[in-house]
Structure 1
């Protein structure tokens, strides 16, 4: 038998080696893009979580500021607050003081889906609304009774569809509301 000294083409071993190396490169590229996509989703979720939590705490502070020290009640466990805000159509009474008789009573508490939503309830009208989602803890406190400063602390964390928690430990936001009306 004659030996071929100038072979052209690939033998089986070379073809298998080329296929294996190509598979490794394609798998590496896929893994790189998958990790990048997951990191992008995590960053987007974290940004949305921070924005919605800041918005919720800002809304609560703005509304609590409209109340007065004698009209703010924080429940014993500190997880909900009830306060009065002047009715927009009847801000002042006949003696030019705030008309607290026609004021609306508002409550903020953790509730809703899986007790992970901040629920705002206007007990005067019966209207409820969701202020924020993905809240793991909500606490209200004041320095002394009657206090002009109410401290609001909320912890927030989102669970992605992959089961990963963002952020890994709950994000804590704290704000203070100085009740302004006498």
Structure 2
């Protein structure tokens, strides 16, 4: 899928496929250096982190294990309710493990802050965060992101795992969604 398939639905491409690829290479190099010779578990947050998790893990130069969580803090609207539910928990035991939570985007940070706290309570050696995107202007919780791709404006974005109504995830770039699509 590319821009020509959804052109009128997009307002602007914020990050190209090439920019994302370059940043993934940088993040993988940093993670490889930080975890050389160490056990590492990547925890992807479903569904948005699928692209980042797959592409990041393939760039790492040592073996890693992967697991997935699905959490929800959204009710019927688009704003975080502050109440987090685990929809799918990890299969792996975190005791003594080095864990990196892999995220597509950090908006308010409320859910991720809760998730970090939850995982730290499970006895890991360490818990860090890798996120491709962060919206600093949307932050409501202070979340320490060790491996960050890009800070972006507080706009509605799609592509590279990010969706609107479960669509646009498979775009190879990140773009702002045209307001006529979501009634904004």
Give the TM-score, by structure 1 length: 0.28
Higher gyration radius (CA)? 1
Higher relative contact order (CA 8 A, sep 6+): 2
Question: Greater share of helix residues, 1 or 2?
Answer: 1
Taking structure 2 as the reference length, what is the TM-score of the superposition? 0.28
